[in-house]
Amino acid sequence: MSIVPDMRQPEALWAHMRHTLAFYAPRVMDATGGCFQFFKDDGTVYDRRTRHLVSSTRFVFNHALAWRWFGASTADVAHALAFVNEAHAQPQGGYAWVLDWHDGKAQVTDGTNHCYGLAFVLLANAHAAEAGVAGAKQGIAATFELMEQRFWEAAHGLYADEATPDWQLGSYRGQNANMHACEAMLAAHATTGDARYLDRALTLATSIAQRQAALADGLVWEHYNSDWTPDWDYNRDDKTNIFRPWGFQTGHLTEWAKLLLMLERRLGTAAPDWLVPTAKHFFDTAMKHGWDATHGGLVYGFAPGDSWSPPPASTQSSPRGGHVGLGSGPAPDMEVCDADKYFWVQAESLAAAAWLAVRTGDDTYWQWYDRLWAYAWQHFVDHQHGAWYRILAPDNRKVTDEKSPAGKTDYHTMGACQDVLAALGVPAPAR
């Protein structure tokens, strides 16, 4: 293993992004459309046909990042976005979740409409628009309107989660789609300056990080019923759904911490006073219960112990209500419920640590930043081939040679580097 560079320095972050991009660059583009999405550790493409909306949109982000920092071609951004718009987009107005792409033609294998997917369509358009891709700015507005029309629930200040191809809403509600919608709204505002995106980001953050968190002792629970009351048992015994895991998610707590601080910076003097203390609470709790003191790294999830019961639903407040406190019941006796180590959890957490360190001036957060990088550098970064491994066992053993299956494009890892640069106030080169 090479010595860990000083990852507080922009040059080290740029070098790591380049190293990761180099893993994908020679093999990711499919000349017939879009990007390949299944890679072994050495870069071998092991499935050339399956295309998942999450990967298709995240590759737009990756190529936009390569353009922003290193002057890569905007043609690659346009190529990736065109696949989203021409292959995933459906006549009913939605975007197919999974496609079989063969001989330049798409066959829908899962036509479910997911708000999570639309959040990434919005994010992709926002970053493509910044790169000057034709039609992307219009794509921002069109995707936002689609989300508002099909998923927005004004009474709750949140988006519903999924619908059939003909737009029949399902009963499941989840925070994950709303978290990434908040991320996408911040990107849309950064690109367009349109206040409605920033306002929507604040509403989403308030609804999840304040009102809904009050139902889970000041933390973020993942799953809800159609009336946004917590569903404490959804996927309790199913670890296969990577987008809807059970328990308190270490990485989602830190990801929200990062987003709350980004939101505060973007709001400026209009920012509510609960954003920073809530971000600290989420991050500190994630480190307390998620850090593996034996093997290092952050576990995937932890859950209330048998001694904890959730606070009553009467603690709810309005979507734009005030600060509800950092807990409305007894402190939960947390237990690790999934001790596996996931790449994105480490990446989002180090980005959050940097934002907290810069915002608060507390060196404890820089210590967490350095600790997380040291762990990831030793166990997750593939120094030979590039990119990060996706998942490790609790003791950091490798469990698969599938480095990047559908859903993983290293958007989290390169995005974390970009987020740290943003926290430090490093501007992208003028283009």
Instruction: Using the structure block, give the residue that is written with the tokens 């480190």.
Output: 287
85, 170, 173, 288, 400 from 178: Cα distances, Å: 22, 16, 10, 25, 30
CA atoms within 13 A on the CB side of 98: 6
C-beta separation of 151 from 159 below 8 A: yes
CA distance 380 to 396: 9
**Among 252, 281, 289, 379, the one annotated catalytic:** 252
| DSSP states along 342-356 | EHHHHHHHHHHHHHH
C-beta separation of 255 from 352 below 8 A: yes
Strand stretches in 118-229, DSSP E: 152-153, 158-159, 162-163, 173-174, 223-224
Sequence-ordered list of residues with C-beta below 8 angstroms from that of 305, at least 6 positions apart, any chain: 332, 333, 334, 335
Residue 105 forms beta bridges with which residues?
A: 102
Question: Is 252 noted as a catalytic residue in this protein?
Answer: yes
- H-helix segments, 307-362: 343-360
- Counting beta carbons within 10 angstroms of the beta carbon of residue 115, is it exposed (0 to 12), middle (13 to 18) or buried (19 or more)? buried
64, 153, 283 from 80: Cα distances, Å: 10, 31, 34
Active site residues: 252, 412
